[in-house]
Structure 1
Amino acid sequence: MSQLVDIYVGRQPIFDTSMRVFAYELLFRSGSEQNHAVILGGDTASAQVMMNVFGDLGLHEVVGEHKAFINFTEGLLLRENRPFFPRKQVVIEVLEDVKVTPKLISSLRALREAGFTIALDDYVFNPELTELESYADIIKVDILAVGPKRLVEHVVQLKEKGIRLLAEKVETREQFEFCKRIGFDYFQGYFFAKPKIIKGQRLPTNKLTVLELLSSVYDPNIDMHVLSKIISKDVALSQKLMKFASSLGNGRFELTSIHDAVMRFGMERLKSWSSMLVLSGVDDKPVELFITSLVRAKFCELVGAKVGDMSKDTYFTVGLFSTLDAVMDVSLEELLVQMKFDQRISKALLEQHGSLGICLKAVISIEKGEVGFELPRGLTATEVTRFYLEAMQFAESIDLA
């Protein structure tokens, strides 16, 4: 049986003017003794918070009926897939270092139109961010970074726009009373409570299965039954999906199977969820490594469909597994023994033998900028180049960067 992995989420309450809990901000934490943020890629940290809360701990178990504020980096905001989390309970917290671009504005507009609540984090009345005010339901103001006089001036302006205000870093009763008096709606800081660490456990997720799922959801011809089979292969993935899907209906329906959960979740949510799964597990791996796997897998699949000597899925598998030793930190020889692959696949991966090996060697040669390599049977150099460009476009269409 797989050993359970400890997971942690920081939870800090947000209060209203009557000092009742209005919401909780959920924060990335890497351990029970580490009650402060750890330097980690922003996309990965936010993805881990979402995976831990929605798929393992359970949103209701962490925040009850209250709202959950979750930090969103620029990279996460620019994803065009339909978010997989409940719109009525999650507040999308836009970090202060985002760049105001037409694409960002379009994303915020779409999220609000879809019913999501938008909050601006650590707002210090920077003129460059003024345009974002039109898309904000809540603005969080770092009161330690803004003097009392400026606070009074800007509170009046923002309240006139119908924006609710949240005072961050409230450390004394005097600060609370002052902010309450001038018009703040919500309050957060050490005066009320330090972040509490919520601990749980999860089953380890098979990275290969996640990668296979990610590549499959972007196949326009994929059958939902195939996606159900991929997810069903991994107990951890199955458990996460069932928990996510059941939360969408607020208990109004019962799920009968993994396929039922897949159908209720829908393709767009599956795309968003799959890319977030990869992000949440690659804090120690460059995302480029996963992109390379997808490029190779798609290239080999395209070649396999043309060569026709064996299934294009077999070709796809060779490309997908060609970087797995780096992804899993285990030698390829050891992995292949565990997987009990067809000898043709094993020889292609270890010795670049046979038609599968020629295909793999070709894509690796293209990556290195080499010329004069052996072409797969029946293909021209022009076709091979076109397949590689198609494979790159395929990988770039997947939300990982």
Structure 2
Amino acid sequence: MDKMNDIYIGRQPIFDTNMHVYAYELLFRANSEENRAKVIGGDSATAQVIMNLFGDMGLSAVVGDRKAFINFTEGLLLRENRPFFPRKQVVIEVLEDVEPTAEVLAAIDKLRREGFTIALDDYIFHPNAVPFEAYADIIKVDILETGPKKLVEHVPLLKERGVRLLAEKVETREQFDFCQKLGFDYFQGYFFSRPKIIQGKSLPSNKIPVLRLLSNVYDPDVDMHQLSSIIGQDVSMSQKLLKMASLSGKNHEVTSIHDAVVRFGLKRLQSWASVLVLSNIDDKPSELFLMSLIRAKFCELIGERVGDLSKDSYFTVGLFSTLDAIMDQPLQTLLDELNFDHKIKEALIKGSGSLGLALKAVKAMEAGKIDFELPEGFSPSEVSQSYLAAMEFAESLNLTE
């Protein structure tokens, strides 16, 4: 197989002011070694990888109907042939190392007049980059490199010119709030998945039964009476299950929580419990829940092939990998509440074993990492296909609607 066919793609969400996903930045990588993902340098290689994305993977499979930010090198900007991307969906992102020469500015101007949206990447208000501002629809500001003082000084000036601003590298809720007040339109970073540390905060009691239910529904030695007991401890959970059970069997009167649990079935309980823990958490963006399910499905697909442990163990590791961010608690504290196998706990905390390797692989792809170890027996293309399949699975659940 031609190694140019080994494609890696990562995507990073871009949020609007309501913390809804506006777009994804796509990060392209091609494989150059058997068990490591590396960047293949050069404009032709980058163009080939992008071509493979649109021709083989399909843009809709990766971003749905949202916009896609695609990085452009100077060489790609200056190519005579015009991009074949859908103009309304693709945002051309000019990389920070591109110089504002007359040729480059003319090329950007032509792309813009043809209907493409132009974004500037990693902007830090350097005088040398000022010529780009007149051609930009969106400016992505590196807030960590720029600092609050320069942001306060420059943001109002750009807003007056009608430029949309995207705050890059937003790491905390405080940074998000600060940039939102300044007038930024979009946000990118890991603020949505970083736990907000509040000293002395304990896990709300109504979340504990949900976590225990999740732990038990994936236990190979699951006891349906135990599941009934856990659900029965929480009025809200019981009401939701009884309502679901009544919808699935209108001709059968439910006589007890256990009756509902048995009729509902273990597989449906697993799906229901997984979604339950991801729902009704108002202060978290839905993209975080989507990420949980993508990771879970990716790890499950890896586990099916590796075969050393149950695929449910792999699914559980992926699903619980964002639990600290969802619950605003240290992961170790949360895992202490759950009766997980030690291999699952070690994978989540230390990234160890084959479970941990699958989790590290999906995290690397999310972040667009260029060097990570592949799960045993997987080629780069197969890992990429598993990631795409996981994204399609998670999107099909419509949890972000």
- With the shorter chain as reference, the TM-score category is 0.3 to 0.5
> What TM-score does the superposition give when structure 1 sets the normalisation length?
0.45
> What TM-score does the superposition give when structure 2 sets the normalisation length?
0.45
